[in-house]
Chains A and B, each alone.
Chain A
Amino acid sequence: MCGIIGVIDRTMSRMDGSSIKRALSLMDERGSGEGAGYVAYGIYPDYPDCYAIHVFFDNLLEPKSTVDRILQTWGRIAHQEEIPTYDQPGLKKEHIPWRYFFKPYTDLMVGTTSPADDTVKHIVMAINSTVEGALVFSSGINLGVFKAAGWPEDVANFYRIEDYKGYIWLAHNRYPTNTPGWWGGAHPFNLLDWAVVHNGEITSYGTNRRYVESNGYKCTMSTDTEVVAYLFDLLGRRHGLPSEIVVGALAPPFWDEIDEMPQKQEEFMRVLRLTYGPALMNGPFAIVVATKDGIVGFTDRIKLRPLVVGEKGPLLYISSEEAAIRVMDPDIESIYMPRAGEPVVGRVMV
């Protein structure tokens, strides 16, 4: 059991983190105090063309000098600083959160149409799999993940997330079951522009992991959700599929439902399921994924985890519990429960 909530203002009007902190804290019982986190999009407008690389360092000596060297090899560090944190009595600081604003060189990598993204992806995988004492947990442009092992309100206060303003927020309260609770295992999981929060477990993790690792990703965070971020990056960014189609590949309809679809749709779904068989996710899950363009929420096909949607004008909320939405927005206009496997999409209106 975990608690998730996401919100988007489709007009890209930015809100601070205070209300999502209250919403996540309302779901304290969904966690165990071993992991909570937030991600916000639109928080670094002063660095519109830099990748914001958030790193957990065990110390600022060897791991940091190695990371500095890797980054300086592959690009230019426009600015770097320790992420401001504020001691909380209930939270032990296990790592030093650091951020780089980084511009990769785009002429060092071949075989890609998005060299900047692929360079940053390569750097993240390299650091996380080879540099002892350093973990990149956020690597997108104009977005940032803030997470730690602790209760939702303690983690929020540790980073003072009310000091950040974003037009998309996702938040997660963790109840670790199959893998240990630690800072890197807290959600959201992020790679480049993708951020994921997840309640449940991916029992097909082994299959999905082999699939993404055969496509150049490395799973290093000892927990299943990581693979969802890489699946979205592979299918959504590199293969260019729209988010509804990605959800259709990850949580497809049952074969007997496909059999009854109109012929064109049936053929399409058949091809999608066969092409992306190893990307199909099994097990109980409710997931919200964000990019700079919007959010998408969905559950497993037999709805083994809760998901509720609320809407008011440009605001779209997706949450484990209705009360969490109402805490953020007492005047919410409509509340409904999406069907199992049905993607709920909120896109920015440009």
Chain B
Amino acid sequence: MQVDPLVIDVKGMHYTPLNRMIREAVASGVRDIVLNNVLGQRFIGNGLRGNVKITINGVPGGDLGMFMSGPECEIFGDAEHAPGNTMDNGYLFIHGSAGDAVAHSMRGGKVFVKGNIGYRGGIHMKEYDGKYPILAVGGTTHAFLGEYMAGGLILVLGIGQEPAVRDRGIGSGIHGGEIVIRGDINEKLLGVGAKKVEFTEEDLERLTPVIEEFCERFGIDPAPFLDTNYSRIIPASSRPFAGKYTWE
């Protein structure tokens, strides 16, 4: 049975009543919510659990989907700082660009950004057991991508960019997970504790479903991206700062 979505015009609304409305709707069984005229409302979908799709038309404020576990948010617009902050599970599909600290401390689910992201994308991302967060970016990223990264995957396709990333500090302090960037990356851009390794056929096979899902989601032909022309950046060791603060 097709059920009409719950449509909310959020023009001028504060995020507190908005999030309350969303939670009540999800609790009452609503599975499809459309938010129109979104502009600057922070914390949308914070801590939200359940099986629901939220369509966001506009530019949501910072920390979109923080602590969220399960829902899918599709954003037709840009996002501000830290969408997917400490997200546990679920999806953020952002059709525009996003600000700094995207997917900050994310520990599960997927954050896909069609455009560019700011500084420190994927900072402190982590994985454990079955939790495996993925941040994928269609455009470029600024400095300190994957800073202090502890797990998961960051994928940067660099569409329309040459090179895909030209900012410094990639994987600064990385001690788990991997950063995969389209094309060759100048080693000088790697941060402390990061090293570049070959992107192999096995890596491609492993990441093909992610590349295909990203492209399908945003209507991009995946074929040009299904080769091994990527740089793979991983931790040089599991303790990049051993000896920096303590001596053995």
Instruction: Spell out A's residues near B (CB within 8 Å).
Output: 26-27, 29, 302-303, 306, 308, 321-324, 326-327, 335, 337, 339-340
The 22 sampled A-B contact pairs (Cβ below 8 Å) are A26-B39, A26-B40, A29-B42, A302-B144, A302-B169, A303-B118, A303-B119, A303-B120, A303-B142, A306-B80, A306-B81, A306-B100, A321-B80, A322-B59, A322-B80, A323-B40, A326-B40, A326-B59, A337-B99, A339-B142, A339-B167, A340-B143
**Is B99 in contact with A324, judged by CB distance below 8 angstroms?**
no
Cα A321 to Cα B78 with chains together (Å) = 11
**Residues 61 to 83 of chain B near chain A (Cβ within 8 Å):** 61-62, 78, 80-81
Cα A29 to Cα B42 with chains together (Å) = 9
Chain B 29-42 per-residue mask, 1 if CB under 8 angstroms from chain A, else 0: 00000000001101
Interfacial chain A residues near B80, Cβ < 8 Å: 306, 321-323
Chain B 144-167 per-residue mask, 1 if CB under 8 angstroms from chain A, else 0: 100000000000000000000001
Cα A27 to Cα B169 with chains together (Å) = 30
Known: A321-B40, A326-B39. 17 other contacts (CB 8 A): A26-B40, A29-B42, A302-B143, A302-B169, A303-B100, A306-B80, A321-B61, A321-B62, A321-B80, A322-B59, A322-B78, A323-B39, A323-B59, A323-B61, A326-B40, A337-B118, A337-B142
Cα A326 to Cα B77 with chains together (Å) = 12
A33 to chain B: closest CB distance in Å?
15
Partner among A324, A335, A339 whose Cβ is within 8 Å of the Cβ of B40: A324
Cα A29 to Cα B81 with chains together (Å) = 13
Interfacial chain B residues near A303, Cβ < 8 Å: 100, 118-120, 142-143
**A306-B118 CB under 8 A given contacts A26-B40, A29-B42, A339-B142:** yes
Query: Which 3 A-B residue pairs are closest in the complex by CB-CB distance?
Result: A323-B40, A303-B119, A26-B40
Interfacial chain A residues near B119, Cβ < 8 Å: 302-303, 340
Q: Interface size of B by Cβ–Cβ distance < 8 Å? A: 21
B9 to chain A: closest CB distance in Å?
15
B220 to chain A: closest CB distance in Å?
22
Cα A302 to Cα B144 with chains together (Å) = 9
Q: How many A-B pairs fall under 8 Å by CB?
A: 50
Interfacial chain B residues near A27, Cβ < 8 Å: 40
Cα A125 to Cα B97 with chains together (Å) = 46
**Is B142 in contact with A340, judged by CB distance below 8 angstroms?**
yes
The residue in chain A whose Cβ has the minimal distance to the Cβ of B101 is: A306
Cα A117 to Cα B142 with chains together (Å) = 41
**Residues 162 to 178 of chain B near chain A (Cβ within 8 Å):** 167, 169
Interfacial chain A residues near B143, Cβ < 8 Å: 302-303, 340
Most buried by A among B40, B42, B59, B97: B40
B19 to chain A: closest CB distance in Å?
14
Partner among B39, B62, B78, B142 whose Cβ is within 8 Å of the Cβ of A335: B78
**Residues 85 to 135 of chain B near chain A (Cβ within 8 Å):** 97, 99-100, 116, 118-120
Interfacial chain B residues near A335, Cβ < 8 Å: 78
**Is A322 in contact with B99, judged by CB distance below 8 angstroms?**
yes
Cα A327 to Cα B99 with chains together (Å) = 17
Interfacial chain A residues near B40, Cβ < 8 Å: 26-27, 321, 323-324, 326-327
**Is B39 in contact with A308, judged by CB distance below 8 angstroms?**
no
B78 to chain A: closest CB distance in Å?
6
Cα A337 to Cα B78 with chains together (Å) = 12
Interfacial chain A residues near B167, Cβ < 8 Å: 339
B73 to chain A: closest CB distance in Å?
17
A47 to chain B: closest CB distance in Å?
37
Interfacial chain A residues near B61, Cβ < 8 Å: 321, 323
Cα A105 to Cα B165 with chains together (Å) = 57
Cα A164 to Cα B130 with chains together (Å) = 59
Interfacial chain A residues near B42, Cβ < 8 Å: 29
B15 to chain A: closest CB distance in Å?
9
Cα A340 to Cα B166 with chains together (Å) = 13
The residue in chain B whose Cβ has the minimal distance to the Cβ of A335 is: B78
Cα A339 to Cα B62 with chains together (Å) = 20
Cα A323 to Cα B120 with chains together (Å) = 21
